[in-house]
């Protein structure tokens, strides 16, 4: 997560896409968060948990630069980074760009509902219905070790 | 087939025909595996396939109008939207009514038809839903599950006022070879035998069997029988004594009473199969699965008839070709369901509508049981049949429908044989049909 957010803009963009997928799920998933993570969550607003867990100098540096921005901005950043933390701790087993790409494929409405089908089946259905799904997805699903079930499998 | 010799020099040989049944594969579910999917998948497949079709028809219908998604509707902008219709019905029974806090007085007698003047239509695609208004689209005619294209505009109230409707229309039809048949050949359609029910008379069915196999004395009738090349039994062939099915263990005496109807049916089918090719389709009361597409009745149920290669147990719906004439038919569940949720002057109107909507059973899976397919909708009619039959109706009716591209379809409502004693014969040469009625006056 931190490595992909080299600049502030990139960081912000990353969180936005997570929020659409993640905020609605954060309530039930917060139950799964173990006590030690809860402690970091409840920490001081001026020192968001994300900074502590990331430990990346860039992010810290940029936040310090923006100390002169108004209060509401930093609140927003806290909320975003907290959500980010929750997302990260949920899928700490290999939530990387490949999974991100597959999740974007899951969420894409053009290929129909994703629940109840494996990703491969959904890709093949999209192919058969003439939607030209990206070949990259097929390659990932068939050749690499990625999660075969869709994003919501077992959660909905 | 066998030639019938009687006390005259003229021997009648049964006419031959070419029978193929390749389209039924899409109604078979042996290869399907249920993975916990919901019905959203079949609705998506239906919408996608129909939408592709409607998008190709829209430019020739209203060339200057843009096509947009429901979410892309702007107030006052005239456009075309394509989606699945949903009919909100006040009187439609809902399972949640059992749990409602207010116990309103529920009628003891279930209404046959759930329509109400307040029913409204909604159009839905994957981006959203919009309520439909205007008088161009009558809620009495349409049902949930039909995919249409609508021309209209959104009002300030958020409603989409419909000015015009585009249905998919009759699908393309394979050319009927023009002069291929010089002689009359008939396919006999019968349904609702209901063997084992109180109202069925075994003598009546025996008369029918005798007619088909040619065990008759009259030469003219023998000639008629020899012209039958194929027989289709469209559902509800047996009726089990339901009072025996109490959920408790059954005594062996009751068990043998239970399968008496099937044994009787097998004996009769044996006689028919020995003489002519016969297809049997499952119906609502038959020992097959409930959800459409109903799977073929198990061959073990017919130990006497199954060894014949003229005997075929088929799916419901059933599609087959005889001498290049395409037949498509169901045992009646699709039309009966339409009758409950919409209205028409005659049953044939429902049949014609399903053909124009290009979908055999639009109310599946909403109110009609259906298997949750993920990647296809097998009820979409891709090629126009030449004969479209529906079994187990109240009375015989038929109509010739002409399509805009020269398609010609004979629509047939087959009456219940146990009540009317009527079977329908379709002439392959000119698609004309007539009834053959059997009567017992004691």
Predicted-complex ipTM score: 0.82
- Lowest mean pLDDT of B78-87, B232-241, B254-263, name the range: B254-263
- By DSSP bridging, strand B318-322 and strand B325-330 are antiparallel
Six-digit token string for B140: 């009495």
- Mean pLDDT (chain B, rounded): 90
What are the start-end ranges of the E strands in B282-421?
311-313, 318-322, 325-330, 387-393, 397-402, 408-415
Best to test chain B binding among A106, A114, A116 (most B CBs inside 10 Å) = A116
Contact B41 A109 (CB under 8 A): no
**Confidence (pLDDT) at A73:** 58
Query: Would you call A50 an interface residue with chain B, using a CB distance cutoff of 8 Å?
Result: no
pLDDT band at B395 (very low <50, low <70, confident <90, very high): very high
pLDDT band at B185 (very low <50, low <70, confident <90, very high): very high
Q: In angstroms, what separates the C-alpha of B425 from chain A's closest C-alpha?
A: 39
Q: Is the pLDDT of residue B262 over 90?
A: yes
> Which of the two residues, B335 and B245, has the higher pLDDT score?
B335
Contact B36 A129 (CB under 8 A): no
Chain A window 59-118: which residues touch B at a Cβ cutoff of 8 Å?
109-110, 112-113, 115-118
DSSP codes, B326-347? EEEEE-SHHHHHHHHHS--SSH
Query: Would you call A121 an interface residue with chain B, using a CB distance cutoff of 8 Å?
Result: yes
Q: Give the rounded distance of the alpha carbon of B431 from its chain centre.
A: 19
In chain A, what residues touch B40 (CB-CB under 8 Å)?
A: 112-113, 115-116
Under 8 Å between Cβ of A21 and A14: no
Of A110, A113, A130, Cβ closest to residue B41: A113
> Which of the two residues, B53 and B247, has the higher pLDDT score?
B53
Contact A128 B127 (CB under 8 A): no
In chain A, what residues touch B50 (CB-CB under 8 Å)?
A: none
Q: In angstroms, what separates the C-alpha of B39 from chain A's closest C-alpha?
A: 10
In chain B, what residues touch A115 (CB-CB under 8 Å)?
A: 37-38, 40
Query: Considering only CA atoms, which of B307, B332, B312 is closest in space to residue B322?
Result: B312
**Confidence (pLDDT) at B180:** 63
Of B37, B49, B126, Cβ closest to residue A109: B126
Contact B374 A118 (CB under 8 A): no
Distances (CA, A) of B62 to B57, B78, B172, B247, B295: 9, 11, 21, 59, 42
Q: What is the dihedral of CA B358, B360, B364, B369, to 10 degrees?
A: -160
For residue range B304-332, what is the model confidence (pLDDT) as tens digits?
A: 999 999 999 999 999 999 999 999 999 99
Query: Would you call A42 an interface residue with chain B, using a CB distance cutoff of 8 Å?
Result: no
Q: In angstroms, what separates the C-alpha of A50 from chain B's closest C-alpha?
A: 35
| Phi, psi (rounded to 5 degrees) for B5 | -110, 125
Give the residue from chain B lying closest to A127, CA to CA.
B375
Residue A37 contacts by C-beta under 8 Å, 6 or more apart in sequence? A85, A89
Under 8 Å between Cβ of A125 and A112: yes
Under 8 Å between Cβ of B349 and B140: no
Contact B37 A116 (CB under 8 A): yes
Alpha helices in B159-214 (DSSP H): 202-213
Under 8 Å between Cβ of B188 and B232: yes
Q: Is the pLDDT of residue B205 over 90?
A: yes
- Taking only the tens of pLDDT, chain A with its 156 residues reads 444 445 555 444 444 444 444 444 434 444 443 444 334 343 444 444 443 334 344 444 344 444 444 555 555 665 665 555 455 445 555 578 888 889 999 999 889 998 888 999 999 999 999 899 999 999 988 888 888 888 888 787
**Confidence (pLDDT) at B247:** 81
Of B38, B48, B126, Cβ closest to residue A116: B38
Give the residue from chain A lying closest to B377, CA to CA.
A129
DSSP state of B137: S
d(CA B340, CA B334): 10
d(CA B24, CA B326): 12
Give the residue from chain A lying closest to B51, CA to CA.
A129
Contact B37 A117 (CB under 8 A): yes
Give the residue from chain B lying closest to A116, CA to CA.
B37
Q: In angstroms, what separates the C-alpha of B302 from chain A's closest C-alpha?
A: 38
Under 8 Å between Cβ of B279 and B233: yes
**Confidence (pLDDT) at A156:** 76
Q: Which residues lie across from B413 on neighbouring strands?
A: B390, B397
**Confidence (pLDDT) at B359:** 96
d(CA A43, CA A49): 7
Q: Is the peptide bond prior to B420 cis by the omega test (within 30 degrees of 0)? A: no
Residues B76-101: b if buried by 16+ CB within 10 A, e if exposed: eeebbbbbbbbbebeebeeeeeeeee
Residue B368 contacts by C-beta under 8 Å, 6 or more apart in sequence? B292, B333, B334, B337, B361
DSSP H or E segment with residue A16 = helix A8-32
Query: Considering only CA atoms, which of B7, B29, B4 is closest in space to residue B15?
Result: B4
**Confidence (pLDDT) at B250:** 84
Contact B49 A128 (CB under 8 A): no
- By DSSP bridging, strand B128-133 and strand B120-125 are antiparallel
Helix, strand, coil proportions of chain B in percent (round to 5)?
25, 30, 50
Best to test chain A binding among B35, B40, B41, B72 (most A CBs inside 10 Å) = B41
CA count, 13 A, side-chain hemisphere, B26: 14
Contact B38 A113 (CB under 8 A): yes
Contact B45 A128 (CB under 8 A): no
Q: In angstroms, what separates the C-alpha of A17 from chain B's closest C-alpha?
A: 19
Q: Is the pLDDT of residue B413 over 70?
A: yes
Six-digit token string for B389: 């039959």
Q: Scanning the structure block, which residue is given the tokens 């009546």?
A: B204
In chain A, what residues touch B35 (CB-CB under 8 Å)?
A: 116-118, 121
Q: Which residues lie across from B79 on neighbouring strands?
A: B152
Q: Scanning the structure block, which residue is given the tokens 């290869």?
A: B31
**Confidence (pLDDT) at B110:** 67
Q: pTM of the prediction?
A: 0.79
Six-digit token string for B115: 């329509």
Query: Would you call A124 an interface residue with chain B, using a CB distance cutoff of 8 Å?
Result: yes
- Lowest mean pLDDT of A58-62, B403-407, B432-436, name the range: A58-62
DSSP H or E segment with residue B425 = strand B422-427
Q: In angstroms, what separates the C-alpha of A107 from chain B's closest C-alpha?
A: 12
Contact B48 A112 (CB under 8 A): yes
- By DSSP bridging, strand B433-437 and strand B160-166 are unpaired
Query: Would you call A126 an interface residue with chain B, using a CB distance cutoff of 8 Å?
Result: no
Q: Give the rounded distance of the alpha carbon of B21 from its chain centre.
A: 17
Q: Is the pLDDT of residue B79 over 70?
A: yes
In chain A, what residues touch B37 (CB-CB under 8 Å)?
A: 115-117
How many helices (H) does chain B have, and how many strands (E)?
Answer: 8, 20
B137-164 average pLDDT score: 94
For residue range B110-146, what is the model confidence (pLDDT) as tens digits?
A: 678 889 999 999 999 988 999 999 999 999 999 999 9
DSSP state of B251: P
Under 8 Å between Cβ of B413 and B348: yes
CA angle A87, A90, A91 (to 5 degrees): 90
| Phi, psi (rounded to 5 degrees) for B229 | -105, -20
How many A×B Cβ pairs under 8 Å? 42
Q: Helices A135-143 and A97-107, interaxial angle, to 10°? A: 120
What are the start-end ranges of the E strands in B43-168?
67-68, 78-88, 120-125, 128-133, 147-154, 160-166
Give the residue from chain B lying closest to A126, CA to CA.
B375
Residue B349 contacts by C-beta under 8 Å, 6 or more apart in sequence? none
For residue range B273-306, what is the model confidence (pLDDT) as tens digits?
A: 999 999 999 999 999 999 999 999 999 999 999 9
Highest mean pLDDT pick, A51-65, B175-189, B230-244:
B230-244
Of B52, B126, B374, Cβ closest to residue A117: B374
d(CA B216, CA B207): 9
Of B35, B36, B40, Cβ closest to residue A113: B40
d(CA A155, CA A25): 9
Phi-psi region of A122 (alpha: psi -120 to 50; beta: other; left: phi over 0): alpha
């Amino acid at each position: 997560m931190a490595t992909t957010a080299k600049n502030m803009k990139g960081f912000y963009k990353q969180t936005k896409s997570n929020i659409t997928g993640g905020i609605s799920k954060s309530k039930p998933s917060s139950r799964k968060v173990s006590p030690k993570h809860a402690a970091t969550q409840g920490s001081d607003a001026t020192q968001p948990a994300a900074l502590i867990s990331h430990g990346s100098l860039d992010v810290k540096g940029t936040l310090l630069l923006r100390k002169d921005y108004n209060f509401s901005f930093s609140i927003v950043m806290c909320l975003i980074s907290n959500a980010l933390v929750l997302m990260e701790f949920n899928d700490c087993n290999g939530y990387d760009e490949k999974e991100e790409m597959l999740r974007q494929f899951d969420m894409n409405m053009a290929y129909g509902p994703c629940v109840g089908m494996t990703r491969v089946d959904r890709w093949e259905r999209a192919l058969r219905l003439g939607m030209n799904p990206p070949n990259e997805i097929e390659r990932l699903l068939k050749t690499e070790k990625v999660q075969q079930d869709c994003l919501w499998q077992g959660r909905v | 087939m066998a030639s019938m010799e009687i006390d005259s020099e003229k021997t009648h040989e049964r006419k031959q025909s070419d029978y193929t049944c390749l389209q039924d594969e899409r109604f078979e579910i042996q290869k399907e595996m249920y993975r916990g999917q919901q019905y959203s998948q079949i609705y998506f497949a239906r919408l996608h396939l129909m939408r592709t079709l409607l998008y190709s028809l829209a430019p020739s219908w209203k060339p200057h109008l843009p096509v947009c998604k429901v979410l892309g509707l702007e107030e006052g902008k005239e456009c075309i939207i394509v989606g699945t219709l949903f009919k909100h019905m006040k009187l439609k029974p809902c399972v949640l009514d059992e749990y409602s806090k207010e116990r309103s007085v529920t009628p003891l007698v279930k209404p046959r038809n759930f329509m109400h003047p307040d029913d409204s239509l909604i159009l839905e695609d994957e981006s959203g839903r919009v309520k439909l208004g205007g008088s161009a689209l009558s809620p009495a005619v349409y049902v949930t599950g039909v995919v249409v294209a609508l021309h209209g505009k959104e009002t300030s109230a958020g409603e989409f006022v419909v000015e015009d409707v585009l249905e998919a229309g009759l699908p393309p039809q394979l050319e009927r070879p023009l002069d291929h048949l010089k002689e009359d050949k008939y396919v006999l359609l019968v349904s609702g035998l209901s063997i084992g029910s109180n109202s069925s008379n075994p003598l009546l069915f025996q008369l029918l069997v005798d007619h088909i196999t040619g065990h008759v004395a009259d030469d003219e009738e023998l000639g008629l029988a020899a012209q039958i090349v194929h027989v289709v039994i469209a559902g509800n062939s047996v009726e089990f004594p339901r009072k025996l099915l109490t959920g408790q263990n059954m005594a062996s005496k009751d068990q043998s009473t239970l399968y008496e109807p099937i044994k009787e049916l097998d004996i009769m089918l044996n006689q028919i199969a020995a003489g002519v090719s016969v297809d049997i389709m499952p119906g609502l009361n038959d020992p097959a699965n409930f959800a459409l597409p109903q799977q073929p009745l198990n061959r073990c149920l017919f130990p006497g008839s199954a060894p014949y290669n003229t005997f075929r147990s088929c799916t419901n719906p059933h599609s087959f070709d005889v001498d290049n004439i395409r037949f498509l038919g169901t045992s009646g569940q699709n039309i009966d369901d339409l009758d409950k949720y919409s209205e028409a002057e005659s049953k044939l109107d429902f049949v014609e509508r399903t053909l124009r909507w290009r979908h055999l059973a639009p109310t599946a899976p909403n109110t009609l049981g259906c298997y949750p397919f993920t990647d296809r909708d097998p009820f979409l009619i891709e090629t126009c049949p030449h004969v479209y039959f529906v079994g187990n109706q109240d009375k015989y009716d038929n109509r010739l429908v002409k399509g805009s591209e020269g398609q010609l379809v004979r629509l047939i409502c087959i009456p219940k044989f146990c009540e009317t004693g009527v079977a329908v014969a379709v002439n392959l040469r000119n698609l004309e049909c007539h009834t053959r009625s059997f009567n017992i006056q004691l």
